[in-house]
Amino acid sequence: MNITVYLGANEGNNPSLKRAVKELGTWIGKSGNALIYGGSKSGLMGALADSVLSAGGNVTGVEPQFFIENEFQNEGITKLIVTKDMSERKNKMIELGNAFIAFPGGTGTLEEITEIMSKVSLKQLNAPCIVYNLNGYYDGLKAMLKHMIDMGLSSEERQKGIYFAESLEQITDILCSLKED
């Protein structure tokens, strides 16, 4: 399975983020799955890619040309796809993915995962959308989705396929249960 992971190129200021992202990457690599990600060598992105590679997995990075010009790309990954801009990058990452995970990140991560949520809720994408709510990072987003349902602007049926996971174990449980279906 190609697992697209959205996350930041910064490390953040909590050491648990780097530990958790390495744990996720090691699992992806050892489980026989492949990583699709933004292609950067820095921050959490770089740590994720390096951990997948160290565990024997394949990594495809998708990076816009202007990032290449600034030399942000990870030279050690299995494959690098260069796009003309961020829109093309997002579309390519969606095209390549079979499952989507949002690790804690910034506004770019939020934008990317909300596009996946929208596509899942509109039945334009038949793939799990997993929000890795590490240490409650996405509690606000979870509350917002519930608020949408409470206000009658969304429904549980529309949000089917959007999952919040508190741990790597929950992520693997979600993905394994969907494989069995």
CATH number for the domain including 76?
A: 3.40.50.450
Determine the pLDDT at residue 40.
86
In this structure, are residues 57 and 28 in contact, taking their beta carbons and an 8 Å threshold?
Answer: yes
Name 161's Cβ contacts closer than 8 Å, sequence gap at least 6: 120, 121, 126, 127, 128, 129
pLDDT tens for each residue of 135-169: 999 999 999 999 999 999 999 999 999 999 999 99
Query: Is 126 a member of any domain?
Result: yes
Residue span of the structural domain in which 125 resides:
2-175
Determine the pLDDT at residue 48.
97
Name 79's Cβ contacts closer than 8 Å, sequence gap at least 6: 58, 59, 60, 61
Closest CA to 93 of 59, 51, 69, 121: 59
Token pair of 50, please? 């390096």
What is the three-class DSSP state of 102?
A: strand
Q: Which portions of the chain are predicted below pLDDT 70?
A: 68-74, 180-181
Look up residue 13 and give its DSSP letter.
Answer: S
**Structural domains in the chain (count):** 1
Query: Is 181 a member of any domain?
Result: no
Determine the pLDDT at residue 19.
97
Query: Is 180 a member of any domain?
Result: no
Phi, psi of 121 (to 5 degrees): -70, -30
Query: Is 155 a member of any domain?
Result: yes
Determine the pLDDT at residue 76.
82
d(CA 168, CA 132): 8
